[in-house]
């Protein structure tokens, strides 16, 4: 872009910039606050996959306050990258505690990790209080030369 066009474009819209393709006010220092969605009613679903392999980068208590599922799948199995994140598992407890209704929630870990085992043991009483069940699978599916743990979910 020629310098004079760049200059005109920045002066034609003072105080505005693009963050992820969305115009924002430069007065706001935090892109997250300028991109936050207005609060609405929670969304109820049967099954939700906790984003980003249960990494703390994208999931916080607000996710669990707004996305209310009967089943949450936790697929993280990379301790070096903080997956699954203890903070996300704790966020589930915090978010669920604010639902105002005691709906049954089942947490489905796809891997047996130290993080999930410790979280389960240390927060078991809170899980019971909040009607959260952690599903441990003792079933195994064998396909060709591979075998892996599995669980059955009925709706």
Tell me: the pLDDT tens digits for 87-130?
Answer: 999 999 999 999 988 899 999 888 888 888 899 999 999 999 99
Which tokens sit at 26? 């430069």
Query: Does residue 89 sit within a domain?
Result: yes
The predicted pLDDT at position 119 comes to 93
The predicted pLDDT at position 90 comes to 94
The predicted pLDDT at position 33 comes to 40
Helices (H), the chain: 3-12, 31-35, 51-54, 61-66, 86-97, 114-122, 124-129
Which tokens sit at 76? 């993280």
Residue corresponding to tokens 């005109």? 8
Residue 144 structural domain: 43-149
Look at the chain and report how many structural domains it folds into: 1
The predicted pLDDT at position 101 comes to 84
Task: Look up residue 154 and give its DSSP letter.
Answer: -
The predicted pLDDT at position 85 comes to 84
Task: Report the interhelical angle of 86-97 vs 114-122 (nearest 10°).
Answer: 40
The predicted pLDDT at position 36 comes to 58
CA distances from 1 to 5, 8, 16, 23 (A): 6, 11, 19, 20
Query: Does residue 22 sit within a domain?
Result: no
The predicted pLDDT at position 96 comes to 95
Query: Does residue 68 sit within a domain?
Result: yes
Q: Which residues of the chain have pLDDT under 50?
A: 5-35
Compute how many other C-beta atoms are within 10 angstroms of the C-beta atom of residue 28: 13
Query: Is the pTM value of this prediction over 0.85?
Result: no
Which pairing describes strands 139-143 and 146-150: parallel, antiparallel, or unpaired?
Answer: antiparallel
Q: Which of 61, 62, 117, 106 is nearest to 84 (CA)?
A: 117
Query: Does residue 106 sit within a domain?
Result: yes
């Amino acid at each position: 872009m020629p310098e004079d066009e760049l200059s005109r474009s920045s002066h034609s819209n003072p105080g505005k910039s693009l963050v992820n393709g969305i115009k924002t006010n430069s007065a706001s220092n935090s892109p997250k606050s300028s991109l936050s969605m207005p609060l609405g009613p929670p969304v109820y679903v049967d099954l939700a996959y906790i984003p980003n392999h249960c990494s703390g980068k994208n999931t916080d208590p607000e996710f669990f306050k707004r996305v209310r599922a009967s089943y949450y799948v936790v697929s993280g199995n990379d301790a070096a990258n903080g997956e699954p994140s203890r903070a996300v598992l704790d966020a589930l407890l915090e978010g669920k505690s604010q639902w105002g209704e005691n709906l049954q929630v089942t947490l489905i870990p796809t891997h047996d990790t130290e993080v999930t085992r410790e979280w389960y043991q240390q927060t078991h009483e809170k899980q019971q209080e909040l009607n959260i069940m952690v599903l441990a699978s003792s079933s195994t599916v064998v396909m060709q030369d591979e075998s892996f743990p599995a669980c059955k979910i009925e709706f």
